[in-house]
């Protein structure tokens, strides 16, 4: 056998070993991602009922729900910039896990609503670290495989959120209000221990850096600004409904805390299906503008119906519709947020987009809390319906691309 043939065999074996190690690293990282979101979302369906149980007014409930988004506005971009400047990922991965577990502990620290406010603020810091998770996981793939990487990450996120949110109501029903927080703490601690085995990932600082000098030019992109504002309204609706006050409405009409798992499933399953397949399918039929208008208008209708549903089954029906309609919206907005931005500035554009839509995560539930204090829970859902209807109108006015553009962008 010639020397060149032997050398080729050695290189092939090395390549196979590297590929095997890469697959192992991806799987290990996805396990940590699952645990991160599990600990962060296990208490979400019972959060607003729990804060109300502590004696908080709807205004205070809105503040607790809203501070989650506010902390992301404040910390998301600085954490991304800090990770890029230090060219390190693992410390920020661990920061997210520590904050997630710490927030669960703070929820159990006292019986006053102020502790819940502090705990949810810390969980907002945890969520701010997600930008580093996304960057680190994409580093396990070639550039041309970035789409597949994000799909795997999104799927793991949805599975973790659905799994954790399905069992939280059952846990409260059988073991008390603190059970989800205890479980979240345990899972976060286990993930922290696993994260010590994560090898540090150093990349070219220019490859994915969020650059402040690019912000001035990025925010002049009309499409990015419009899409970001639509995303603000979309997140208003999401954090007023399923991640906000819909569980309170379910309990008010006689559902048990264990029944909240069915409410979660009714929303999350069609939401995941629409996210994976719906936008692509409806994009071919209706185009971007038509799909966004359908999603927002449908969400407005189903949100408006929530307070008039007499039974849990009827309420779950509204969640099936709302979950699907909102699932049509988010992938389209995410794709269009960087569609008009040159590749070198897309990380900056994404940072801007994420920071802006956090305004909806913060402002939506807070204003809805004030509305609910004045007019009952119905007032908060009215606000969500108005926000969705406004977004449908703005989609008609702003999104004027050709019908075929949707399929092309989603295929990228």
Residues 50 and 180 in one domain: yes
- Give the DSSP letter of residue 311: S
Q: From its phi and psi, is residue 282 left (phi > 0), alpha (psi between -120 and 50) or beta?
A: alpha
Instruction: Report pLDDT for 5.
Output: 61
DSSP symbol at 254: T
Q: Rounded to the nearest 5°, which phi and psi values hold at 36?
A: -60, -50
Final residue in a domain of this structure, among 172, 197, 222: 197
Whether 245 maps to a domain, the answer reads: yes
Collapsed DSSP state (helix, strand, coil) of residue 341: coil
Tell me whether residue 11 is in a domain: no
In a domain? residue 1? no
Report which of 158, 406, 155, 112 is spatially closest to residue 285, judged by C-alpha positions.
406
Name 1's Cβ contacts closer than 8 Å, sequence gap at least 6.
none
- Report the C-alpha gap between 370 and 265 in whole angstroms: 28
Written as six digits, the tokens of 31 are 């396990």
> 227 and 177 in one domain?
no
pLDDT at 335: 77
| 48 touches 177 (CB < 8 A) | no
What confidence score (pLDDT) does residue 37 get? 96
Shared-domain flag, residues 366 and 391 = yes
Does the residue 123 lie in any domain?
yes
Provide the pLDDT for residue 310.
94
Q: How many domains does the chain have?
A: 2
Measuring CA to CA, which residue among 104, 79, 103, 78 is closest to residue 92? 79
Domain identity same for 123 and 155:
yes
**Does residue 114 form part of some domain?**
yes
Contacts for 175-178: CB closer than 8 Å, 24+ residues apart: 177/46, 177/50, 177/53, 178/107, 178/108
**Position 219 in a domain:** yes
CATH of the domain at 288: 1.20.1250.20
Among candidates 365, 303, 310, which has minimal Cα distance to 58? 365
Residues 245, 127 share a domain: no
Compute, in degrees rounded to 10, the torsion defined by CA atoms 263, 364, 63, 254: -30
380 and 254 fall within a common domain:
yes
Quote the tokens at residue 346: 């897309």
Residue-range definition of the domain harbouring residue 247: 213-400
Domain identity same for 117 and 228: no
In a domain, 206, yes or no: no
Nearest to 126 by CA among 100, 108, 146, 158: 100
The distance from CA 356 to its chain's CA centroid, rounded to whole angstroms, is 14
Is 6 domain-assigned?
Answer: no
**Cα–Cα distance measured from residue 195 to residue 174, given in angstroms and rounded to the nearest whole number:** 32
How far is the first Cα of the chain from the last one, in angstroms, to the nearest whole number?
Answer: 45
Nearest by Cα to 90 from 158, 160, 192 = 192
Q: Tell which of 197, 221, 237 closes a domain.
A: 197
Contacts of 376 (CB under 8 A, 6+ apart): 307
Q: For the chain (length 412 residues), average pLDDT per consecutive 10?
A: 61 62 82 96 94 93 94 87 82 95 95 95 94 81 68 82 92 94 98 90 57 69 89 95 93 91 91 79 82 95 96 96 92 78 69 85 92 92 97 90 46 44
Tokens (6 digits) for 247: 């569980």
Do 223 and 186 belong to one domain? Answer: no
Q: In terms of domains, do 118 and 222 share one?
A: no
Question: Do 144 and 255 share a structural domain?
Answer: no
Same structural domain, 150 and 191 = yes
Of 162, 197, 232, the last residue of a domain is: 197
Question: 167 and 293: one domain?
Answer: no
Q: Is 188 helix (H, G, I), strand (E, B) or coil?
A: helix
């Amino acid at each position: 056998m010639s020397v060149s043939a032997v050398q080729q065999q050695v290189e092939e074996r090395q390549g196979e070993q590297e590929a095997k190690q890469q697959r192992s690293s991806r799987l290990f990282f996805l396990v940590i991602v699952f645990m991160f979101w599990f600990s962060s979302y296990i208490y979400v369906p019972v959060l607003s009922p729990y804060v109300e149980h502590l004696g908080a007014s709807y205004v205070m409930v809105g503040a607790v729900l809203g501070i989650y988004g506010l902390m992301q506005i404040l910390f998301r971009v600085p954490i991304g910039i800090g990770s890029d400047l230090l060219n390190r990922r693992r410390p920020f991965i661990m920061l997210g896990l520590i904050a997630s577990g710490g927030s669960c502990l703070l929820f159990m620290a006292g019986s006053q609503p102020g502790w819940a406010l502090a705990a949810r603020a810390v969980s907002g810091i945890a969520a701010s670290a997600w930008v580093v998770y996304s960057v680190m996981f994409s580093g396990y793939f070639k550039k041309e495989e970035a789409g597949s990487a994000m799909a795997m990450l999104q799927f793991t996120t949805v599975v973790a959120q659905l799994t954790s949110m399905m069992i939280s109501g059952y846990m409260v029903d059988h073991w008390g209000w603190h059970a989800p927080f205890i479980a979240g703490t345990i899972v976060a601690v286990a993930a922290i221990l696993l994260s010590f085995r994560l090898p540090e990932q150093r990349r070219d600082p220019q490859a994915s850096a969020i650059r402040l000098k690019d912000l001035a030019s990025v925010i002049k992109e009309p499409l990015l600004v419009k899409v970001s504002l639509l995303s603000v309204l979309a997140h208003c609706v999401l954090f007023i409904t399923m991640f906000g006050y819909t569980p309170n409405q379910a309990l008010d009409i006689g559902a048990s805390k264990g029944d909240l798992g069915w409410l979660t499933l009714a929303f999350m399953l069609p939401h995941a299906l629409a996210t994976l397949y719906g936008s692509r399918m409806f994009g071919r039929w209706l185009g971007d503008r038509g799909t966004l208008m359908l999603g927002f208008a449908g969400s407005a209708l189903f949100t408006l119906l929530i307070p008039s549903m007499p039974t849990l089954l009827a309420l779950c029906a509204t969640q099936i519709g709302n979950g699907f309609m909102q699932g049509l919206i988010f992938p389209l907005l995410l794709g269009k947020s960087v569609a008009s931005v040159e590749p070198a500035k897309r990380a900056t554009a994404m940072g801007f987009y994420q920071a802006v839509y956090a305004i909806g995560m913060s402002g939506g539930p807070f204003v809805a809390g004030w509305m609910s204090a004045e007019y009952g829970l119905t007032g908060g859902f009215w606000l969500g319906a108005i926000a969705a209807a406004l977004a449908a109108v703005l989609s008609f006015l702003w999104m004027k691309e050709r019908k075929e553009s949707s399929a092309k962008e989603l295929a990228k």
